[in-house]
């Protein structure tokens, strides 16, 4: 059983790393598109009409593709002034509690966003702007991202509990 967990853990880490690479690639494409849009808007007065809407969707995907990797690397924004004043075991206990709280929150949001995404799919809800696209194709990243955060939060909780 431990070999399976260890292998699954390694696969998970590789998956979230490559999802982070995908987020970075989307960011590069988004940056180039915005720059090109600005150049075309002010030189020949013919902007790329899809850039604004595409950027909105790209920001959503970047967030949820990279969030789990950022949490794994512990590079997220945090206020640790109070935590630094605690001893190592008490700090690990507080971190374990907050990580466990995050497990619960991520699980609830995963469940509710899965239900909503299924609703969007079943009722064929569309977004009508520059593109007309099924709304679930944009929203599906939310349950995926929160599920990955749920798994990473479980891993963090376990790591902190081992330090107590």
In the structure encoding, which two tokens stand for residue 124, read together? 């064929």
Residue 133 β-bridge partners:
127
Residue 153 — very low, low, confident or very high, per pLDDT cuts 50/70/90? Answer: very high
Who contacts 121 (Cβ-Cβ below 8 Å, separation ≥6)?
134, 136
What is the model's pTM? Answer: 0.88
- Sign for the pseudo-dihedral over CA of 137, 142, 148, 151: negative
Residue spans of alpha helices (H) in the chain: 2-43, 51-72, 81-84, 88-122, 136-139, 141-163
Tens-digit pLDDT profile for residues 17-76:
999 999 999 999 999 999 999 998 889 988 888 898 899 999 999 999 999 999 999 877
In whole angstroms, how far apart are CA 70 and each of 13, 78, 95, 107, 126?
Answer: 12, 12, 16, 18, 32
Tell me: pLDDT of 6 over 90: no
């Amino acid at each position: 059983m431990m070999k399976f967990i260890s292998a699954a853990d390694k696969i998970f880490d590789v998956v979230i790393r490559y999802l982070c690479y995908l987020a970075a690639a989307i960011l590069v494409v988004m940056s180039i598109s915005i720059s090109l849009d600005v150049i075309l808007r002010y030189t020949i007065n013919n902007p790329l009409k899809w850039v604004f809407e595409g950027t909105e969707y790209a920001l959503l995907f970047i967030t949820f593709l990279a969030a789990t990797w950022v949490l794994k690397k512990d590079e997220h924004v945090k206020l640790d002034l109070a935590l630094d004043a605690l001893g190592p075991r008490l700090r690990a206990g507080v971190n374990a509690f907050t990580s466990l709280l995050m497990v619960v929150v991520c699980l609830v949001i995963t469940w509710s966003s899965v239900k909503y995404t299924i609703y969007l799919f079943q009722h064929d809800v569309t977004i009508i702007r520059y593109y007309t696209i099924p709304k679930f194709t944009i929203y599906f990243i939310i349950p995926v991202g929160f599920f990955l955060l749920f798994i990473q939060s479980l891993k963090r909780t376990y790591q902190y509990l081992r330090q107590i």
